[in-house]
Amino acid sequence: MTKPIPQPGIMDIALYQGGQSHVAGVAEVIKLSSNENPFGPSPKAIEAARESATTLHRYPSTDHASLRAAISRRHGLDAERIICGVGSDEVLQFVAQAYTGPGDEIIYTEHGFSMYPIIARMAGATPVIVPERDRQVDVDHILAAVTDKTRIVFVTNPGNPTSTMISDTELERLAGGLPGNCLMVLDGAYAEFVDGFDGGAGLVDQFPNVIMTRTFSKVYGLGGMRVGWGYAAQEIIDVLNRVRQPFNLSLTALAAAEAAVQDEEYLQFCQSENVRLRVWLSAELAKIGVLSDPSCTNFILARFVDRAEAEACDDYLKTQGLIVRRVAGYNLPNALRITVGDEGACGRVVAAITAFKGGAA
């Protein structure tokens, strides 16, 4: 008997593993496994989402003009060269779908975001993993892996789950070293956590094959709304809009994101609290021998003696109602990724890991 057969590569896609949010038998948990904003969205975004409820019978805008204008004012970018997606994931998917297919290669780095191989295979392309150096993206390794089949290089900066960052100079060297028919996608999901960093917008203006992606899911606390955006040369945006569904963003999502991006005061509060608590968290853990690289994000990558210790600590944290993220799947088996929570959450993480390590809780 014949049966429907999926396209080649589809069954090679490993299903995305989201951050856990429940622990069996533990009623009250603190979720520190998905790099969400512990303070939630701006009250203005909540209000805008609420107000949108009265017009839910209307289709949303197809061109996202109002949200793009707000993003453009906030970042000083040309609104015509911005595209919005259902999370930055969707923008990344547009890029792979529009520019790659069977036989093409997509490069990403050893500890790169786990959606990249999924997105590559969704387009029928082949994901190619390149080593990092001491948990940092390495430009020479990437350039050495480029072949005449390479069409996209995905770079997360700052990185997830590494939390490290490479300099503008290194990124410029990478962009300059890639062939003109190869896109460089700068995934800036965590760009807002770095004071003064433009996420790569300057490089987009300098190189016609560079794309920057950003999200409302992290510092803006709108992961549940699913809004992201990309910025690139006009020619690229015109291509990406052809594979975008006309009503990809709901009117509630559009309203919430537009209000969020305009609330600069709340943004600054989230940014400064993140820095304050991240510094404290990493310093306290370092005192008990749990080291992490200086973080440029809203999480730290805590390193343990070996995989067994990391997993035992994760198990212990769960018994304490604290859910963090194992990152063995990112080739970091001896580490745990811990989102910087609010003050209470950070205090509980330090107390629990101290107890686990055998010190005074």
Ligand X SMILES: Cc1ncc(COP(=O)(O)O)c(C=O)c1O
Q: Interface with ligand X includes 240 (CB under 6 A)?
A: no
Q: In this structure, what DSSP letter does residue 294 have?
A: P
Considering only residues 273 to 312 of the shown chain, the ones binding ligand X according to CB under 6 A are: none
Stretch binding ligand X (CB under 6 A), from 43-51, 69-77, 87-95, 335-343: 87-95
Q: Interface with ligand X includes 87 (CB under 6 A)?
A: yes
Contacting residue, 33, 97, 157, 160, with ligand X by CB under 6 A: 160
Pair of tokens at residue 182: 């190869």
Pair of tokens at residue 151: 């069409």
Q: Interface with ligand X includes 223 (CB under 6 A)?
A: yes
In whole angstroms, how close is the CB of 112 to ligand X at the nearest point? 8
Contacts of 216 (CB under 8 A, 6+ apart): 222, 225, 227, 228, 256, 257, 260, 261
**CA atoms within a 13 Å half-sphere pointing along the CA-CB vector of 240:** 28
In whole angstroms, how close is the CB of 219 to ligand X at the nearest point? 11
d(CA 116, CA 171): 19
Q: Interface with ligand X includes 221 (CB under 6 A)?
A: no
Q: Interface with ligand X includes 199 (CB under 6 A)?
A: no
Q: Interface with ligand X includes 339 (CB under 6 A)?
A: no
Secondary structure (3-state) at 135 = coil
In whole angstroms, how close is the CB of 228 to ligand X at the nearest point? 4
Element (H, E) at 185: strand 183-187
The one-letter code for the residue type at 85 is G
Q: Cβ(23)–Cβ(313) under 8 Å?
A: no
Contacting residue, 189, 201, 240, 277, with ligand X by CB under 6 A: 189
Q: Cβ(191)–Cβ(231) under 8 Å?
A: no
Contacting residue, 42, 215, 248, 250, with ligand X by CB under 6 A: 215
**Given the complex with ligand X, which of 155 and 290 has the nearer CB atom?**
155
Q: Given the rule CB under 6 A, which residues bind ligand X?
A: 35, 87-89, 113, 156, 160, 187, 189, 215, 217, 223, 228
